[in-house]
Amino acid sequence: MKPTAQSSWLFWSVVAFRCVGATVALTLLNALLPLGTPVLALAWFAVLGIVCASLASRSRLTSVGFCIALAVATSAPSLLLHLTNSTLSLAGLASLSVEGLSMHLASCGAVAALGALLTWLFWRARRAVTAEALALLAVAIALFSGHRDFNLDRPKILNTMAWRLGIDQLSMLVSVGAVLLVATVLYLCLASLATRPRADEVAVTRSSGKRQALLGTLAVAFVALLVFGIEKLLYTHYSIEQRGRVANGVGMRSENGVSPLTFQSALGSSSQPAALVRLEGDYNNNPFSPMMYLRETALSSFNGKEMVFAGKAFDTDIPVTKPRDNFTGKEDEGLSNRVPLVQSVYLLADHENAFALDYPVSIVQLKNPKPTRFKGSYRAYSVGPAYNLAELSKEQVGDPRWSPEVRAHFLEQHPDQRYRETAERLTQGIFNPVEKAQALARSLSETSIYTLTPRHEVKPGEDPVAPFLFGDHRGYCVHFAHAMVYLLRSLGIPARVGTGYLTDLSQAKDGHILLRMSDRHAWSEVYVTGIGWVPFDVQPEQVENHAETQVDAKMLEELMGILQPGEELLPHELTKDEKGVEEDSEIWLPDRRAVLATGALLLLSFVLLKLALRHGWRLPLSPRAKLRWAYISISSALCDIGVNRSEGETRLEFASRVRAAYLEPLARLSVAEAYAPGSTLSSDRLRNVVATVGSPLGGLPVWRRGLAAINPASVIKLLSGGGW
């Protein structure tokens, strides 16, 4: 039986779907493992194999015959080139380019053979559909299984795609997941609807095929809407969760009474690029070299369970400003051993708060050098630490200018007496407070075990630090910082938790530092008299697993090439009334008048084509042209209400099927004119036939006639070649 138009449409839809899937798969495979042969060439051969195998499956060719033909067709070109080159080598005329071409042809032939074989099995073996669907789902599961606990940078291909497209990794994961799910459902739907073009099978009838196509379309649309809703909810939930817990257990929240830290999981190691920092000048006085602390917030209030954000009322050195806002503070003249340092920060990920070196006194906005790459940019003016750590041991702690309330705030202790007992035991025989802080940091560094998954069982409301300090000593920076603060405060040493980034300057290049989410860090700080807040960070000597990775040097160089001399933005009040002062945009947007003119032109063209289809026969045409346009007028009206002539159906059969009395005279006259031109057609006869023609829309409700008037189906059919 000859395939119907419906079955042909489904057949070519499946073929197109497989071709697109093969192209995407080859592109991703080449990104993971370079194939050597150009992807475009491989994709063309894969498409050729899929199309040829699909057409062959509609014939009476057996599987054995197909395999023989496939082996000959895919191997013959490369073998022929190889033999030719071998023959030429005997005469000393062999060419490496010919040998290389034969190798590329062999690769293309292998891809074409694989695509053809899988396509043949798809059409001829029913279980192949299930196998391919399960394979696709297995790939999706393998792709996303490594992203648990917010490990957003694995596999590298998704991280690279997100980077190239300029979107965050969570959006990339959600989008890829949605596409894979919808693609799987669409694949299964098309595979179940498409008729198997085997010689021993009967094609579906037109009505059943149309009903199946409609049901399949509705099912795919429903699944797409369902997936969109679910993905939107997942993205909203996890984007909030991600900002609260970014990496190494250090989030970005800054609400009073809230902590951005988590104790249960450090969320794995994430190489997601966070920001590019450019030091505008040398910083040879860095006391922590080669490391450098970039503070974002500080937690100095104790809520009975953990350290939380207290706000500017106590932590006056923290700007707590959004990256897009300017900040102007006042330099503390009571602090010594500090040097001015300027940093230009270009954000590669969304940040709730601006961060800077130690003590920022000013933050101003910079012109974004590339909005498609950077989320924002600003310049921070800081007075950075320039003291000698070895010389701090004889200093005192606390600020004489503090009020009793402020001093009590920074000395609020944990009620568990074990912290005081542990601190006194570890600092026995030491009297200077700074030396005590150094001893505590040294002791915890020796006994602590760094791990991203401590897996402590802590009930709600219980102390999450106790299982670490009084238990197995397994934890990460959040545990170390809290334990240090509790121990320090129990000895009367004012302390708090600092959060932000800890970066290794040895991986910087020409003063440019690439920060990753894995560089986010929490540490303890002690206020040293006349110096300010000084980090006393625990550096565990035992490491179970960690987030330390090498900086992507290629990415760093790429970003450095984008940067230009930082240009500070003018205040909005100075530029809002000036002409010609506006933000540059790399996205071209058409003029509104051009859009309206284009839309009006398209609408006018649509109306004119509709009028031509409906009333073209009224023009003073030749009898033969008038006959043709009269038939088109009726057929186009039927097309707009969903009635079409099927492939292989004659005009007389079509007129009989739709039972349109006004169509049959035109159909008979058209057929007679087609087989015997000019013998039966005359102006008088044509006039009599056309006079009997009525509109197929006359008996329909007004709303259906309105829909038919705006339905573009007949116009599309006219532009695609007609076939009335």
CA dist., res. 45 & res. 342, Å (int): 56
Q: How far apart are CA 621 and CA 20, in angstroms?
A: 46
pLDDT at res. 592: 62
CA 458/CA 447 separation, integer angstroms: 21
CB of 502 within 8 A of CB of 556?
no
Higher per-residue pLDDT: 348 or 184 = 348
DSSP string, 606-647: HHHHHHHHHHGGGSS--HHHHHHHHHHHHHHHHHHTT--PPT
Close Cβ partners of 202 (under 8 Å, ≥ 6 residues apart): 1
Using alpha carbons, select from 444, 1, 451 the residue that is nearest to residue 199.
1
Dist CA 680 CA 691 (whole Å): 17
Higher pLDDT, 22 or 662: 22
User: Of residues 494 and 719, which shows the higher confidence score?
Assistant: 494
Residue 214 has what pLDDT? 59
Calpha distance 253→245 (Å, rounded): 9
Q: pLDDT per residue over 218-236, tens digit each?
A: 666 666 677 667 666 766 6
Q: What is the pLDDT of residues 301-343, one digit of tens each?
A: 999 999 999 988 899 999 889 998 999 988 888 898 999 999 9
pLDDT grade, residue 690 (50/70/90)? Answer: low
Contact assessment for residue 3 and residue 203, using Cβ atoms and an 8 Å cutoff = yes
| Residue 268 covered by a domain | no
Give, for 119, the enclosing helix (H) or strand (E).
helix 96-124
Q: Taking 80 as the threshold, does the pLDDT of residue 130 lie above it?
A: no
Q: How confident is the model at residue 642 (pLDDT cuts 50, 70, 90)?
A: confident
pLDDT at 641 over 70: yes
CA distance 387 to 383: 12
Among 550, 402, 542, 432, which Cα is nearest to 480's?
Answer: 542
Query: Looking at residue 629, what is its pLDDT?
Result: 81
| 374 within domain boundaries | yes
At residue 665, the pLDDT reads 73
More confident residue, 709 or 529: 529
- Which DSSP helix (H) or strand (E) runs through 504? strand 495-504
213 against 131, higher pLDDT: 131
Same domain, 619 and 480: no
Q: Which residues make beta-bridge pairs with 550? A: none
Mean pLDDT of 56-77: 84
Structural domain ending residue among the three candidates 561, 585, 611:
561
Given pLDDT bands bounded at 50, 70 and 90, which one contains residue 147?
low
Euclidean distance between CA atoms 323 and 350, whole angstroms: 9
The kind and range of the H/E element at 9 are helix 5-32
How many residues are recorded in the chain? 724
pLDDT of 535-591, one tens digit each? Answer: 999 999 998 866 566 788 888 888 888 887 756 655 544 344 444 444 443 444 455
Mean pLDDT of 172-196: 69
Query: What is the H or E stretch that residue 496 is in?
Result: strand 495-504
Residue 195 confidence (pLDDT) above 50: no
Cα 100 to Cα 26, 54, 322, 384, distances in angstroms:
21, 30, 57, 59
Task: Report if residue 385 sits inside a domain.
Answer: yes
Is the distance from CB of 22 to CB of 115 less than 8 angstroms? yes
556 with 656, same domain: the answer is no
pLDDT at 413 (0 to 100)? 94
Residue with the larger pLDDT of the pair 189 and 282? 282
On the question of pLDDT at 663 being above 70, the answer is: yes
Task: State how far the Cα of 433 lies from the Cα of 535, in Å rounded to an integer.
Answer: 14
Instruction: Please compute the mean of the pLDDT values over residues 251-271 and round it to a whole number.
Output: 75
291 lies in a domain?
Answer: yes
Rounded Cα distance, 633 and 614, in Å: 5
Between vectors from CA 583 to CA 581 and to CA 588, what angle results, nearest 5°?
120
Whether residue 522 sits in one domain with residue 625:
no
Give residue 177's pLDDT band: very low, low, confident or very high (50, 70, 90): confident
Residues 464 and 336 grouped into a single domain:
yes
pLDDT for the residue numbered 181: 74
Query: What is residue 498's DSSP assignment?
Result: E
607 plus 518 within the same structural domain: no
Percentage of residues of the chain with pLDDT beyond 90:
28
User: Is residue 319 located within the same domain as residue 464?
Assistant: yes
Mean pLDDT, the chain, whole residue set: 79
What residues contact 330, with CB distance under 8 A and at least 6 apart?
A: 361
Rounded to an integer, what distance in angstroms lies between the CA atom of residue 101 and that of residue 86? 13
Q: Are 343 and 355 in contact (CB under 8 A)?
A: no
| Residue owning tokens 């057949």 | 11
Answer whether residue 694 is part of any domain.
yes
| Residues 295, 394 share a domain | yes
The pLDDT score that the predictor gives to residue 582 is 40
pLDDT higher than 70, residue 184: yes
Same domain for 335 and 224:
no
Residue 207 shares a structural domain with residue 277: no
B/e letters for 342-363, b = 16+ CB within 10 Å, e = fewer, are: bbbbbbbbebbbbbbbbbbbbb
**Helix 169-193 vs helix 127-144: angle between axes, to the nearest 10 degrees?**
170
Looking at the predicted structure, is the pLDDT value of residue 194 above 60?
no
pLDDT at site 27: 83
- Candidate from 100-114, 244-258, 698-712 with smallest mean pLDDT: 244-258
Question: Residue 371 above 80 pLDDT?
Answer: yes
- For residues 450 and 522, what is the distance between their CA atoms, to the nearest angstrom? 13
Give the Cα separation of 430 and 602 in Å (integer). 86
pLDDT for res 166: 62
The answer to whether position 583 is within a domain reads no
SS3 546: coil
SS3 500: strand
Position 600 scores a pLDDT of 82
The token pair at 61 is: 């060719």
- In this model, does residue 695 exceed pLDDT 70? no
- Whether residue 404 lies inside any domain: the answer is yes
Domain range enclosing 655: 599-719
- Is the same domain home to 471 and 339? yes
**Is residue 301 in some structural domain?**
yes
Number of domains in the chain: 3
Considering the domain architecture, whether residues 233 and 285 belong to the same structural domain is answered as no
Tell me what pLDDT residue 341 has.
93
d(CA 76, CA 498): 69
Q: Which residue has the higher pLDDT, 358 or 83?
A: 358
Structure tokens at 366: 């910079």
Which residue matches tokens 């219980």? Answer: 462
Same domain, 217 and 341: no
Q: What are phi and psi of 111, to 5 degrees?
A: -65, -45
